[in-house]
Structure 1
């Protein structure tokens, strides 16, 4: 997917969260560790929910905000330096799973943080601020949920 505008970034983010949810879900049945299976299931549901929320933000955002060009950042950075989708979480322990998922979220947060800092229009800044806050909040919530699962 060629990403040039904020609308493209939102579509990519929603698709990315859904793809990650699908990978986590697929891996949850194959991991030998009960804790890892619980974590993968939890994260999968969380990512799918986040994908729907980002998609809804895209659907309700103002058109002129969505047409904002974002290519400057994207020329210098990959959207997310992710592991290959053919790799699985099936052989990873809970700490390894959380390291990967946390890293992925941190890269998305950094993207939104940069775009927010460069936004010129109030509508665009508001949309990016809401998305940045959403990603930060969801990453924190996932970490707390993962920590609670470890306490079980």
Structure 2
């Protein structure tokens, strides 16, 4: 078990989105087919927007809620960006889509885990909203990937 403040959990998720955008930027530095380049640019913007949204969440939430301690076990494999060297050299649409979906699922899992373990109603509401926001983003991402594959 690990103790962490709500603020730290939100900062951790925000940092994850920023690192994920950097991963997609790294993948975009290679020569890629136009569709893959389009997908990577979309994902970079998506992750930067998600980081900004979490920053706003942090800024707009009350200090008391943000300073509330959480007690939860965070699997060390959750929200872990793979080393660039371990990524496939073949950057197909399917591979990029699989990465994006996996990371989205990990965020949903983390937010759900925290939501289930908190008793404070305001905290539960914050993490319920984050779960729903991430699920919505995953649906939009999936639809956009399908559209890009059809191009």
TM-score category, normalised to shorter length? 0.7 to 0.9
State the TM-score, normalized to the length of structure 2. Answer: 0.87
Structure 2 counterpart of 1:145: 144
1:112/1:81 CA distance change after superposition, 3 Å:
same
Aligned length: 149
The whole-number CA distance in structure 1 between the counterparts of 2:84 and 2:4 is 23
The reply on whether 1:108 has 2:83 as its aligned counterpart is: no
Partner in structure 1 of residue 39 of structure 2? 39
Segments of 4+ in structure 1 off by > 6 A? none
Select the structure that is richer in strand. Answer: 2
1:80 maps onto 2:73 in alignment = no
Partner of 2:19: 19
Judging changes above 3 Å, is the alpha-carbon distance between structure 1 residues 71 and 90 closer, same or farther for their aligned structure 2 residues?
A: farther
- What is the DSSP-based 3-state SS (H/G/I as helix, E as strand, rest coil) of the residue aligned with 2:144? helix
User: What are structure 1's unaligned runs of at least 5 residues?
Assistant: none
Structure 1: how far apart are the matches of 2:70 and 2:88? 32
Q: Is the 8 A contact 1:31 1:92 kept in 2?
A: no
CA distance in 1, matches of 2:47, 2:3: 21
- Structure 2's unaligned 5+ residue stretches are none
Distance 1:101 1:89, change over 3 A: farther
Preserved CA contact (<8 Å) 2:23 2:84: yes
